[in-house]
Amino acid sequence: MTTAMAPGKIILVGEHAVVYGRPAIAAPVWQRVAMATIEPAAPGAGCSLHARDVDLHLRLTVAGDDEPLAVVTRLALAQLGVAQEPDWRIELHSEIPIASGLGSGAALSTALVRAIFRQLGHEAEPAQVSSLVYESERFYHGTPSGIDNTVVAYGQPIWFVKGRQIQPFTPSVPLTIAIADSGVRSPTKTTVGDVRRAWQREPARYESIFDAIGELVCTTRRAMEEGDLPALGRLFDANQTLLESLDVSSETLHRLILAARRAGALGAKLSGGGRGGNVIALVEEEVVNRVSDALYTAGAQRVIVTQIGAEAR
């Protein structure tokens, strides 16, 4: 039996504008992972995929091209020169809620690709995994920037610009982030599609918002390099305001964000596609519990506290 896993992710700053070539910063979340297990099946049984969490059961031979996990499996097998369908039972399991901005699709596909490589005696390179997973991201995001597959495949914080060489990036002081799930499911494809249509209608207005986000991401990088947490908090807040002007926030997200700020978070914003999913709040150690309690009181379904940059120390 072969197993492999991959982390969830958060976008710290720069979502949506990153689809239009501006930079963004993202980090893995190892407290929530996706796992893939491959067991040999009886000779002639063929390859089947089972994701019990979402009640998905597929036969590789009959699954269509609208099934991202089947697409990724075929691509990975083709890359390894496997022409004949293997006799495998593949089980997928994820602790990452779907459509919540935590990269559940990218994490499942990444775990799957790694398990396939391992089962065939190879260890997949992050760049190889990332480019295979990108193909499934097209299904989840419509026009993905590639940031989710990249951060999940590399498993470390990154500075990301679409189409450029990735840059691993570690803040000079660890960042403590409370991640609160609004419980509202919002497919990334929908918000990415809505922003695209709005940009097509009013290109000048949207380009200037994307520029403002791009500049904010550059300033955020400097604040991270300098370990200036109060500045970073203000940048989270400013990014949230810009995301609101892209119309990807919601009343529920706003309520959580305000609750976190009032409880002492340095700053808070939505993370990922928006309209639902998760908000992230930058907190100092001494207020973590207070912010977490306030998020639950404001309606969060789950709060995870993660440290960005601590793992690299």
**Rounded CA gap, 183 and 170, in Å?**
30
CB 94 → ligand MEV: shortest distance, Å?
16
Nearest to 154 by CA among 181, 178, 179, 125: 125
**Rounded CA gap, 22 and 160, in Å?**
9
Pick the stretch among 16-24, 56-64, 177-185, 212-220 that binds ligand MEV (CB under 6 A): 16-24
User: For residues 232 and 309, is the Cβ–Cβ distance under 8 A?
Assistant: no
Pick the stretch among 14-22, 44-52, 107-115, 286-294 that binds ligand MEV (CB under 6 A): 14-22
Q: Considering only CA atoms, give the Rg of the chain.
A: 19
Pick the stretch among 11-19, 176-184, 217-225, 294-302 that binds ligand MEV (CB under 6 A): 11-19
Residue 55: partners with Cβ closer than 8 Å, 6 or more residues away: none
What is the H or E stretch that residue 25 is in?
A: strand 24-40
Cβ distance to ligand MEV smaller for residue 3 or 245: 245
User: For residues 236 and 229, is the Cβ–Cβ distance under 8 A?
Assistant: no
- 277 binds ligand MEV per the rule CB under 6 A: no
Q: How many residues bind ligand MEV (CB under 6 A)?
A: 14
Cβ distance to ligand MEV smaller for residue 148 or 181: 148
Binding mask 110-149 for ligand MEV (x = CB under 6 A): -------------------------------x--xx-xx-
- 28 binds ligand MEV per the rule CB under 6 A: no
Cβ distance to ligand MEV smaller for residue 69 or 106: 106
- 181 binds ligand MEV per the rule CB under 6 A: no
DSSP 204-224: HHHHHHHHHHHHHHHHHHHHH
Q: Which residues bind ligand MEV (CB under 6 A)?
A: 11, 15-16, 18-19, 141, 144-145, 147-148, 188, 192, 272-273
